[in-house]
Amino acid sequence: MINDESLDQTSDIQQIDESDALPAKRARTDDMLNLISKFLESAGNVLLIQGPPGAGKTTLALELLRRVQATRLGRTEIPPARLYVPSRVSPNKLRKHFPLIHQMHDPFSKKISGDDSTEGSAEIRVSEPDDVFNKILTLKRSRLRGLMVIDSWEGVLRNTSEDGRRMIESAILSDPDDNRVGVVLVSEGGRVGDLTNLVDGIVTLSSSELDGRRLRTIVVNKLRGLRVKSDRALFSLDKGKFNLLANTQFDDDPSAKPSILSPVPHTQTYFSTGSRDLDIMLKGGIKKGSSILVHVNNTVPTMGVRLLLRIINANFINQGGSSFIVPFSAVSSDSIAESLRPLVGDDTLNQRVRIAEYNRDLLRKKWRVQLSGKVMEDFTLFSNILKELETASSSMILSIDFDKIVQVYGDDLMLPGLANMGATMRDAGAVILAVASEPNKIREAFLRTADYYLKVESINDTIVIYGVKPFTNVHGIEFAFDKGYPSLKLTEIV
């Protein structure tokens, strides 16, 4: 359960390498940040970033500064003005915690702090907070496209009279149509007064918990003049950068030619999951001869779980392993076979893959195991199939949906048989990969001896995964299809 917790065009302002800063084709995973950046490109727009201490406000503000683009006049490119006015964080701390900033100097005084070793990189000018009023006016009158960040609003007003506050507000909010400078105000909820009604946009950052693990959420409260299709998303502050987690997509890349999955190699003691990121999360992969339970929340689309299991099974099969699959209730054996076929090939599918099917009217296939729904009869067939696969390959994985097993056989009848099967597979160095959504006796009995216990949920259209055993942070799941087969990338929320 989640618990919420004078500048001109000849100035020496240095430019960012736009080809490094922004991809030529912006990814759909970045739509929200692109929308906020577009909003700040409009003449004179003011954005308020609010949230508690440690929420990531400074990191977001610096990311928005990085994204400001130059103005092109024919073949001439005029670099944008990027000004950061800190009142909470010293320049030395900024340099330490935010590698994006390389040179610390005031563009008005042109006093440089000394580090000029990063020429050509993404540089942001840092100004002292004194005399903010004049700096705002000077930047606005420069006629340059640019962005100014005041971090924080409360800090700037700390030693300012009421008249001074009104002057600064007036300088920020006036002349919206006569300048090309956007302003970002960072606030921790102090002396904002009527500011929320006066600014053009508001973004709120928050931190909460999911089973004792950190979650970070960004909410777009308003962006005047723009339609916000999706107003909230998860994000991470890994490596001091603002990383928006992707809305999990399940669409194949139509430009990519389907191909056999290129496996991530196993090690001497661990089977790879097919994702290097997931292997790292599991501290090396799945230990040989172990069992793993994946609890899937009912918010997760079935396709997300199917893709995860498809990657794990195909990676196993394409390294000489065999696989026995008991699919979800709503998924036929034909569907599983057709999704695996392009990843492993026809011959391998027939030789080293077996898929359970309870519809006995379907045509016989070499890979299809037609079950009767009678526990003793089917358990004998289970055992025979596992022995057959064991002789066909050096390693084996059993992927089984416990909800389906309970639906067909009930809780009690399968418990002894599954326990014996689990012991046999463990002794053989094989892996049992079980998936469950509902609580039942089989799940609870399996969990008592499981070596790994993972949970999968969907939050704000992002599928997340985290480990209970071993304990891990929450990771966002992103599927890609550019290689001709599905691959899995994780982003850790820190």
Please report the DSSP string for 148-182 in residue order.
EEEE-HHHHTTT--HHHHHHHHHHHHS-TTS--EE
Asked whether residue 239 falls in the same domain as residue 320, the answer is no
- Judge whether 451 and 292 are in contact, CB under 8 Å: yes
Among 362-366, 410-414, 416-420, top mean pLDDT goes to: 362-366
Say if 353 falls within a structural domain. yes
Say if 431 falls within a structural domain. yes
How far is the C-alpha of 179 from the C-alpha of 196, rounded, in Å?
22
Q: Count of domains in the chain?
A: 2
Asked whether residue 298 falls in the same domain as residue 231, the answer is no
In three state form, how does the secondary structure of 338-402 look?
A: HHHHHHHCHHHHHHHEEEEECCCCCCCCCCEEECCCCHHHHHHHHHHHHHHHHHHCCCEEEEEEH
Say if 259 falls within a structural domain. no
Asked whether residue 207 falls in the same domain as residue 328, the answer is no
Asked whether residue 169 falls in the same domain as residue 287, the answer is no
Say if 255 falls within a structural domain. no
CATH of residue 423's domain is: 3.40.50.300
Asked whether residue 225 falls in the same domain as residue 100, the answer is yes
- Judge whether 464 and 234 are in contact, CB under 8 Å: yes
The pLDDT confidence band at residue 173, using thresholds 50, 70 and 90, is: confident
Asked whether residue 66 falls in the same domain as residue 182, the answer is yes
Asked whether residue 140 falls in the same domain as residue 36, the answer is yes
How far is the C-alpha of 108 from the C-alpha of 489, rounded, in Å?
44
Among 223-227, 237-241, 284-288, top mean pLDDT goes to: 284-288
Instruction: Tell me the C-alpha to C-alpha distance, in Å, between residue 426 and each of 8, 71, 114, 376, 385.
Output: 72, 64, 61, 22, 16
Say if 476 falls within a structural domain. yes
Q: What is the pLDDT of residue 81?
A: 79
Asked whether residue 237 falls in the same domain as residue 341, the answer is no
Say if 405 falls within a structural domain. yes
Q: Does position 63 have pLDDT exceeding 70, yes or no?
A: yes
Say if 263 falls within a structural domain. no
How far is the C-alpha of 411 from the C-alpha of 92, rounded, in Å?
62
Given 210, 244, 278, the domain boundary residue is 244
pLDDT tens per residue, range 136-148: 777 777 666 788 8
- Judge whether 140 and 134 are in contact, CB under 8 Å: no
Asked whether residue 296 falls in the same domain as residue 409, the answer is yes
Q: What is the pLDDT of residue 116?
A: 41
Choice between 87 and 10, residue whose per-residue pLDDT is larger: 87
pLDDT tens per residue, range 197-207: 889 999 999 99
How far is the C-alpha of 336 from the C-alpha of 404, rounded, in Å?
15
Q: Does position 133 have pLDDT exceeding 80, yes or no?
A: no
DSSP secondary structure string for all residues of 45-69: -EEEEE--TTSSHHHHHHHHHHTPP
> Which helix or strand (DSSP H or E) is residue 415 part of?
helix 411-427
Phi, psi for residue 351 in degrees, rounded to 5:
-85, -40
Say if 251 falls within a structural domain. no
Asked whether residue 357 falls in the same domain as residue 413, the answer is yes
Asked whether residue 186 falls in the same domain as residue 285, the answer is no
Q: What is the pLDDT of residue 383?
A: 86
Given 226, 244, 262, the domain boundary residue is 244
Domain with 449, as residue range(s), is: 270-492
Choice between 129 and 245, residue whose per-residue pLDDT is larger: 245
Asked whether residue 214 falls in the same domain as residue 301, the answer is no
Given 244, 261, 285, the domain boundary residue is 244
Among 41-55, 311-325, 368-382, top mean pLDDT goes to: 311-325
